[in-house]
Amino acid sequence: PNETDPASYRIHTSYTRDTDACASCHRTHTAVGPGLLQWYTIYDTCMACHDGTVKTTYNVVEGKIADTGRRTSGGKFGLGKESYLSRHNVKGTLNIASAPGGSTITVYEENEDGSIEPVSWGIRFGCESCHNPHGLGGNARILNPDPNGWARRNKKTYYPLTAVNEESTVFVAYPEQDTTRLPYYMLTGYEYGVITYVYDEFNNVEIAQPTIDNSRGYTRIVFDTPQTGKQIKATFFPSLRVIMDIDGYLTANETITYQDGTSEFCGACHTDYYTASTTKTSSGRILTGTYSRVYRHQIGVKDTESPYEFSELLKYETDQERNRKLICLTCHTAHGVDQEYWQQTIDPDRTYGDYWQQEDHTKELAGSSALKRMPNMATCEACHQKAEANEGYLANSGQKDPGSVSGNTADYFTLEGAEYVSAQTCKFCHRKRYDEWKITLHANMVKEVTSLDTSGILTTAKDNWSVELSTYYGQPEDVAYTLGSKWKQMYVFKNGTLGYRVATGNQVVWDVKEAKWESYRPGETVDWDDTCIACHVTGFNGNTGENVIFQDHGIGCESCHGPGSKHSKHPGEGNIINPGKLDQDRAIEVCGQCHARGINKDGVREDAYGFIPGQILAETFTVLDKINDDGTYFWPDGTAKGNHMQYQDFLLSKHYLTGIMTCNTCHDSHGLSDDGRPLKLTLQQTCGTCHGQVLDIDRYMPYTAVSINEYDIRSHAFKEDYFYPAAVDNPSLD
């Protein structure tokens, strides 16, 4: 190329009789590569100029604009040794079927000479897959108008044309006959061609005379004479149009405004990733894809439709109304990226100081950087702002960086000061978990009863209502809350302005299994407010009487995960508790706050009110042990006699003492196993997973404790031998 006057000597355009542009790449009689190329491969031919050797054009190896030092929007291919480099492999070693999100099955076509060649998917992937060196199709950046055979697959046959002048001498083809859209660009030249036809009620003949004019960025079919009253049709291959507005071409001030077609272009190979739609689909809520049906992030969303503010750190398409639209190139570059490219292209004006120029902030943690414009999840955070200003992955991993984009936002990522917001709030993001939890005993532990709705009361109990309850407490419609439903059901009544009390007496608790009334602490007064409530509801405020407030009836999400107000606004690992990621003691204490008997540190309450998952339980709640027991709660071997004492039992087990297991190892608080238990697997599968055999459950988990019947609660001490209660017929060790 002529480096002294590159603007007027463009080897990829101006194929006229007064240039020698063809000779820059081809040799008529001495070519060494296919297609009469001067070099052995297309890649070598392209890199003869675009590897930085020629200083007046784009250096795609380093991703620079000529000799300006300015980085290109398309990224870089690199040499292969750059830090965190990811790139399209354009050396011709792969075929297009290697592209994720596409087909693996080659489509072949028979030539006139009888030979067979691939026309899509089996085509070799190289520079020519995305670019057409001859400028065919009229695209910006000489992008290929027929990537992966797109134009061939979308061939238009006998497509109706529309007259655009009064004389009916000029016709165009509008996509879907929509005159508000840019007309088709019809491919012409070698391998392609436009055939036009004229129709009237008397004839159907091919027109040989019209001129194909592509000079305006779309195709005009121009006739010498008017075609009034006639229907004009054409058969053609449409160009996949990509439109950009490029200002300051090949200068340090070059800017690109993407206008149309970029995502559709990428979608020619990454077919299933092309999720553009004329309506908002909320991304991950609709299955998409031709070759793989999964949930994907939507593209094509306008900034006026998005709930998120589009970040200035990324790229978008801009329409004539100046609306910005999410495209593939919003998050990815076309060629590739590495650490150096990130440091020079993310926030080059230092709006956020030197944050993105620091090496520690541009390390890719996930393996491949996937051609992303920003490392790790910063590409997502730029718009979604789940954590302030692109530092979500730092804050979530505990890296508090006061020099980050917006300063230290660590307070967002702690539980301190968080409030309870209810399972309904959690449902917005965790719908599947919510639906699974909703059918568990935890979710249904407490049911509110009103005079108009007594459905929370078991039908068998309602039909046989206790005389004692009627006499001292009230009728079914007078019940405020029910407690439980599997083994027994207890009833809470409002006690005037003093609060709520659990019914006590001789015939006040319904035995579900035996279908009869049983006693509960006769002669005692049991206040619901300071004895039971903290374990049976979620988000209790600690008050009594009419000032009692809580968020959920039953054991909800926040009982185990902690208060969620901060997490719901700024989702991160630091402002919510995942019991599965706690150490063994903290993990089992999440369950132990309710599945243990003891006394609150306030000396009054019998529950663990004030405990937050992840904290040390002993700081809030003193757990009963056998040393100070008079035989009321423990058997001689230390195993539990009472209900909700599984925590004390588990502390005796080898499962705990060896540091191997927690409650979550076997149990699933979010759902039920196939046999209807709150386990991850069935009862036999749960034990067999580790022990490799069908265990005798009655030997290792005998019924030793009482809920309503003697004995109906299995021990969680997992001992080989117990001092069994005499009333329990457990098998011998033999």
The tens digit of pLDDT for each residue in 24-46 reads 889 899 888 888 998 888 999 99
Is the predicted pLDDT of residue 684 greater than 50, yes or no? Answer: yes
- Residue written as token pair 């718009």: 383
Which residues neighbour 115 within 8 Å (Cβ) at sequence distance 6 or greater? none
State the Cα angle at 11 between 10 and 15, rounded to 5°.
Answer: 95
Q: What is the pLDDT of residue 14?
A: 61
Amino acid at 305: E
Could you give the CA distance from residue 181 to residue 163 in angstroms, rounded to a whole number?
15
Q: What is the pLDDT of residue 515?
A: 94
Q: What is the pLDDT of residue 138?
A: 84
Amino acid at 670: H
Tens-place pLDDT, residues 67-86 = 999 999 999 999 888 889 99
Could you give the CA distance from residue 704 to residue 640 in angstroms, rounded to a whole number?
7
Which has the minimum average pLDDT: 1-10, 133-142, 420-429, 628-637?
Answer: 1-10
What is the chain's mean pLDDT, rounded?
86
Amino acid at 560: C
Is the predicted pLDDT of residue 611 greater than 50, yes or no? Answer: yes
Q: What is the pLDDT of residue 519?
A: 94
Mean pLDDT of 189-213: 74
Q: What is the pLDDT of residue 733?
A: 38
Tens-place pLDDT, residues 273-327 = 998 875 666 666 788 888 988 888 989 888 888 878 888 899 999 988 888 999 9
Tokens representing residue 656 in the block: 């705990």
Q: What is the pLDDT of residue 231?
A: 86
Q: What is the pLDDT of residue 697?
A: 84
CB-based contact 232:160 (threshold 8 Å): yes
Could you give the CA distance from residue 699 to residue 247 in angstroms, rounded to a whole number?
81
Is the predicted pLDDT of residue 554 greater than 60, yes or no? Answer: yes
Report the SS3 class of residue 186: strand
Tokens representing residue 46 in the block: 């392209």
DSSP string, 8-33: G--TTS--STT--GGGGTB-SSS--B
Tens-place pLDDT, residues 92-144 = 888 898 889 999 888 888 877 888 888 899 899 999 999 999 888 888 899 99
Report the SS3 class of residue 367: coil
Which has the minimum average pLDDT: 8-22, 34-48, 239-253, 404-418?
Answer: 404-418
Mean pLDDT of 352-370: 83
Could you give the CA distance from residue 541 to residue 555 in angstroms, rounded to a whole number?
15
Query: At 448, phi and psi to the nearest 5?
Result: -80, 140
Which has the minimum average pLDDT: 169-183, 396-410, 529-543, 607-621?
Answer: 396-410
Amino acid at 417: G
Q: What is the pLDDT of residue 671?
A: 83
CB-based contact 278:297 (threshold 8 Å): no
State CA 34 to chain mean position distance.
45
Q: What is the pLDDT of residue 361?
A: 87
CB-based contact 186:240 (threshold 8 Å): no
Tens-place pLDDT, residues 579-609 = 988 999 999 999 999 999 999 998 888 899 9
State CA 215 to chain mean position distance.
45
Amino acid at 434: Y
Could you give the CA distance from residue 101 to residue 271 in angstroms, rounded to a whole number?
6
Q: What is the pLDDT of residue 457?
A: 94
Amino acid at 28: T
Q: What is the pLDDT of residue 496?
A: 79
Q: What is the pLDDT of residue 403?
A: 41
CB-based contact 299:276 (threshold 8 Å): yes
Tokens representing residue 333 in the block: 């570059």
Q: What are the structural domain ranges in the chain?
A: 6-150, 155-236, 336-413, 444-554, 579-714
Higher pLDDT: 388 or 328? It is 328
Mean pLDDT of 527-549: 87
Tell me how far CA of residue 273 lies from CA of 381, 474, 706, in angstroms.
Answer: 20, 63, 57
What number of residues does the chain have?
Answer: 734
pLDDT above 70 as % of the chain: 89
Could you give the CA distance from residue 398 to residue 361 in angstroms, rounded to a whole number?
14
Q: How confident is the model at residue 367 (pLDDT cuts 50, 70, 90)?
A: low
- Residue written as token pair 């998952």: 613
Is the predicted pLDDT of residue 160 greater than 80, yes or no? Answer: yes
Could you give the CA distance from residue 242 to residue 334 in angstroms, rounded to a whole number?
13
First and final C-alpha spacing in the chain: 94
Query: At 663, phi and psi to the nearest 5?
Result: -60, -35
Spell out a b/e string for 615-627, using b for 16 or more CB atoms within 10 Å of the CB, else e: bebeebbbbbebe
Residue 426: name the closest of 576, 593, 592, 611 by CA.
Answer: 576
Tens-place pLDDT, residues 615-674 = 999 999 999 998 888 888 999 889 999 889 999 999 999 999 999 899 999 998 888 877
Mean pLDDT of 706-710: 84
Q: What is the pLDDT of residue 404?
A: 41
Residues 248, 249, 252, 257, CA torsion sign? positive
The DSSP bridge pattern shows strands 220-222 and 231-236 to be: unpaired
Mean pLDDT of 158-167: 90
Could you give the CA distance from residue 124 to residue 118 in angstroms, rounded to a whole number?
9
Could you give the CA distance from residue 648 to residue 646 in angstroms, rounded to a whole number?
6
Tell me how far CA of residue 421 lies from CA of 400, 574, 611, 615, in angstroms.
Answer: 26, 17, 17, 20
Amino acid at 54: V
Could you give the CA distance from residue 162 to residue 66 in angstroms, rounded to a whole number?
43
Tens-place pLDDT, residues 223-277 = 988 888 788 888 999 999 999 999 998 899 999 999 999 999 999 999 999 988 7
Tell me how far CA of residue 123 lies from CA of 96, 147, 267, 522, 627, in angstroms.
Answer: 6, 10, 16, 84, 78
Could you give the CA distance from residue 312 to residue 212 in angstroms, rounded to a whole number?
41
CB-based contact 159:183 (threshold 8 Å): no
Report the SS3 class of residue 117: strand
Mean pLDDT of 423-442: 88
Mean pLDDT of 385-396: 52
Is the predicted pLDDT of residue 726 greater than 70, yes or no? Answer: no
Higher pLDDT: 19 or 165? It is 165
Its pTM stands at 0.56
Is the predicted pLDDT of residue 734 greater than 70, yes or no? Answer: no
Could you give the CA distance from residue 527 to residue 488 in angstroms, rounded to a whole number?
19
Q: How confident is the model at residue 329 (pLDDT cuts 50, 70, 90)?
A: very high
Which has the minimum average pLDDT: 520-524, 526-530, 659-663?
Answer: 526-530
Is the predicted pLDDT of residue 405 greater than 50, yes or no? Answer: no
